[in-house]
Amino acid sequence: MPKSNSTATKAKMDVAIRPGPGRVPGAKRSSDVFDDRGRTVPWMARTVHRLYDAQGQKILDRENLAIAHWYYLRVLAERGELNQLELSKRVGIASTTAVPALDNLEKRGFVQRTRDPNDRRKYFINLQDEGKRLVDEMLPELTDMISASLDGITQKDMQVFWKVMHQIENNLMQISQGDSVVD
């Protein structure tokens, strides 16, 4: 976004939430919502996520594994067998988008799908030995990359960071009335 648009947006926000008659109780000041470059928390979270994905993909390229597929393996390694809908929710990807990813992972021997005996429309997904091997092999290197990204940040700063992130998560869960699954 050009700087002038960012400045204009901030100016509008300042006018919209400036103290005075008609101000919404509990509304945040523009300086609470935007950083010094006009970015919001969601914008920064997206930027950081994209940077992590790019670095993670470099590591996963050795196994010719897409970062999006890694998320499925990682959730299955943590949670165990899940039905396809639950797995999709935990990964944060639409269940229809999961089908080609799970096809690929199953073809490569990383996961196995089995029909739900009570509902033939549903499938359970579980991690196979080859998938477990891959997670066990790749997770330490991905964890090291994440750790390196935190260089120069104190333990106290990280405690504050986690407190703030968990509060944002709780606030958003209340706003969404719990209609999303968060892992």
Sign of CA dihedral 50, 52, 55, 57: negative
Q: What is the DSSP letter of 130?
A: H
24 contacts 17 by C-beta, under 8 angstroms: yes
Q: To 10 degrees, the CA torsion angle through 112, 115, 121, 125?
A: -30
pLDDT above 80 (res 183): no
Amino acid at 64: N
Q: Name the CATH code of domain 66-139 (choices 3.30.1490.20, 3.40.50.970, 1.10.10.10, 3.40.50.1220).
A: 1.10.10.10
pLDDT above 90 (res 116): no
What does pTM read for this prediction?
0.75
pLDDT digits (tens, 9 = 90+) for 129-138: 999 999 999 9
pLDDT digits (tens, 9 = 90+) for 90-105: 998 888 889 999 999 9
Which of 107, 102, 104, 106 lies closest to 72 in space, CA to CA?
Answer: 102
Mean pLDDT computed over every residue of the chain: 85
83: left (phi over 0), alpha (psi -120 to 50) or beta: beta
Domain locations in the chain?
A: 31-64, 66-139
